[in-house]
């Protein structure tokens, strides 16, 4: 049986969630589906669970590899996928039963290289909010229209105020396998590898369709605990990503370069937040932020951003960044967090 969609699931230390993830794929209404489980050297029982599924189901393929990170694990999956289209699913998330049938129907009808959907945030297995993609219902099939969509992947434009970030994740999309192979589209071993992958994929796609579906179930609390923690190499990871983004933007027009600078400012704010959350004394926190902000390579990533159109809070943050006011930056992060938590509590009350 020829597979219409190959779903690649990188696995690492997810024995608690893996069965729900894989079971959601086995219950898909699209029957011509291939499930590629890539065990990235997981030290828990995840690999054994994946093997159980392979023995029981003919459309499940399990691959074991030494630990190398999310991007390389996905690349292993791409190399072993046989489907007409490729999808990616994080192993602590799951999907509704008709997700891939609906996306494949759009892909076939539109003859699209990429099909994109929205998602639904979950916390403690309770649906929080459905988020349609901001471009849902649109199809882009000209070089200029796709180029304008791709600009969003570099970050917000100066005229954007307090708006949600453009979705960067690859997990809500289908990608034509021939496109991935023809242009050797693979993931880099880098922070925010999804953004870089999509920048490269959108650059060569002939047609991209955005759907109104929200069938990808995102386990928000787990992802936040992973991505929002301060590790010893976090500064290096941020720097590598922002320099890579800057290099790609340098080949584009001025708008893309400006957007990339704003992305760098956003990452500075994120890093300050990580430091603020860390179990460190104020002197240690200041030391971390000083080292990060005074890195010349990073300074070049955000230097020269036109701040005149920024909201006051962001404009003030940028000014404190330029003036290297580390304590004030920490205070701004704390205030921002308090406001965000108050908003989140109101949302839960409404739900």
Instruction: Return the percentage of the chain with pLDDT > 70, whole number.
Output: 92
Question: What is residue 349's predicted lDDT score, i.e. its pLDDT?
Answer: 46
Name the least confident of 41-50, 87-96, 216-225, 332-341.
Answer: 216-225
Q: Which domains does the chain have, with CATH numbers?
A: 5-224 (3.90.550.10), 228-350 (no CATH)
Q: Report the alpha-carbon angle 155-166-115, nearest 5.
A: 125
pLDDT band at 221 (very low <50, low <70, confident <90, very high): low
Asked if 170 and 71 touch (Cβ cutoff 8 Å), the reply is no
Question: What is residue 163's predicted lDDT score, i.e. its pLDDT?
Answer: 61
Question: Is the predicted pLDDT of residue 214 greater than 60, yes or no?
Answer: yes
Question: What is residue 226's predicted lDDT score, i.e. its pLDDT?
Answer: 43
pLDDT band at 178 (very low <50, low <70, confident <90, very high): very high
Asked if 70 and 43 touch (Cβ cutoff 8 Å), the reply is no
Put simply, whether the predicted model's pTM sits higher than 0.85 gets the answer: yes
Question: What is residue 239's predicted lDDT score, i.e. its pLDDT?
Answer: 94
Q: Report the alpha-carbon angle 322-325-326, nearest 5.
A: 115
pLDDT band at 336 (very low <50, low <70, confident <90, very high): confident
How do residues 110-150 score in pLDDT, each as one tens digit? 999 999 999 999 887 676 789 999 999 999 999 999 999 99
Question: What is residue 343's predicted lDDT score, i.e. its pLDDT?
Answer: 58
pLDDT band at 338 (very low <50, low <70, confident <90, very high): confident
Question: Is the predicted pLDDT of residue 213 greater than 60, yes or no?
Answer: yes
Question: Is the predicted pLDDT of residue 13 greater than 80, yes or no?
Answer: yes
Both tokens of residue 333? 């992060």
Asked if 110 and 209 touch (Cβ cutoff 8 Å), the reply is yes
Question: Is the predicted pLDDT of residue 162 greater than 70, yes or no?
Answer: no
The larger pLDDT score, comparing residue 114 to residue 279, is at 114
* Helical spans, DSSP H, in the chain: 18-26, 46-56, 70-80, 99-110, 143-150, 177-182, 193-204, 220-227, 234-249, 254-277, 282-293, 296-302, 312-323, 326-350
Both tokens of residue 192? 């925010």
What's the chain's length in residues? Answer: 351
The larger pLDDT score, comparing residue 324 to residue 187, is at 187
Instruction: Return the percentage of the chain with pLDDT > 90, whole number.
Output: 74
Query: How confident is the model over 186-212, as a mean pLDDT?
Result: 97
Query: How confident is the model over 98-115, as a mean pLDDT?
Result: 99
pLDDT band at 311 (very low <50, low <70, confident <90, very high): confident
- Mean residue pLDDT of the chain comes to 91
Question: Is the predicted pLDDT of residue 350 greater than 70, yes or no?
Answer: no
Please give the backbone phi and psi of residue 175, each rounded to the nearest 5 degrees, phi first. Answer: -125, 135
pLDDT band at 33 (very low <50, low <70, confident <90, very high): very high
pLDDT band at 225 (very low <50, low <70, confident <90, very high): very low
Question: Is the predicted pLDDT of residue 347 greater than 60, yes or no?
Answer: no
């Amino acid at each position: 049986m020829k597979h219409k969609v190959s779903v690649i699931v990188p696995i690492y230390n997810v024995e608690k969630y893996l069965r729900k993830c894989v079971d959601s794929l086995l219950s898909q209404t699209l029957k011509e589906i291939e499930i590629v489980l890539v065990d990235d050297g997981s030290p828990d029982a995840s690999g054994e669970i994946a093997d159980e599924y392979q023995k029981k189901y003919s459309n499940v393929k399990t691959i074991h590899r030494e630990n190398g990170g999310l991007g390389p694990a996905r690349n292993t999956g791409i190399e072993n996928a046989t489907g007409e289209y490729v999808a990616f699913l994080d192993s602590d998330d799951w999907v509704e039963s008709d997700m891939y049938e609906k996306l494949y129907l759009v892909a076939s009808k539109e003859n699209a290289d990429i099909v994109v959907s929205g998602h639904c945030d979950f916390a403690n297995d309770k649906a929080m909010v459905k988020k349609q993609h901001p471009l849902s219902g649109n199809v882009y099939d000209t070089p200029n229209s796709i180029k304008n969509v791709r600009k969003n992947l570099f970050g917000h434009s100066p005229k954007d105020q307090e708006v949600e970030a453009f979705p960067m994740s690859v997990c809500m999309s289908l990608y034509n396998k021939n496109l991935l192979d023809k242009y050797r589209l693979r993931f880099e071993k880098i922070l925010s590898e999804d953004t870089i992958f999509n920048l490269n994929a959108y650059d060569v796609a002939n047609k991209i369709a955005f759907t109104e579906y929200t069938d990808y179930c995102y386990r928000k609390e787990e992802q936040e605990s992973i991505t929002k923690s301060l590790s010893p190499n976090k500064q290096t990871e941020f720097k590598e990503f922002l320099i890579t983004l800057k290099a790609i933007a340098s080949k584009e027009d001025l708008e893309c370069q400006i957007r990339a600078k704003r992305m760098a400012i956003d990452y500075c704010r994120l890093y300050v937040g990580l430091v603020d959350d860390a179990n460190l004394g104020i002197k240690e926190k200041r030391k971390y932020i000083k080292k990060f902000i005074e890195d010349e390579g990073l300074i070049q990533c955000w230097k020269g951003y036109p701040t005149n159109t920024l909201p006051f809070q962001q404009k003030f943050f940028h000014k404190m960044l330029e003036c290297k006011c580390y304590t004030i930056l920490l205070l701004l992060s704390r205030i921002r967090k308090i406001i965000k938590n108050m908003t989140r509590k109101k949302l839960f009350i409404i739900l």
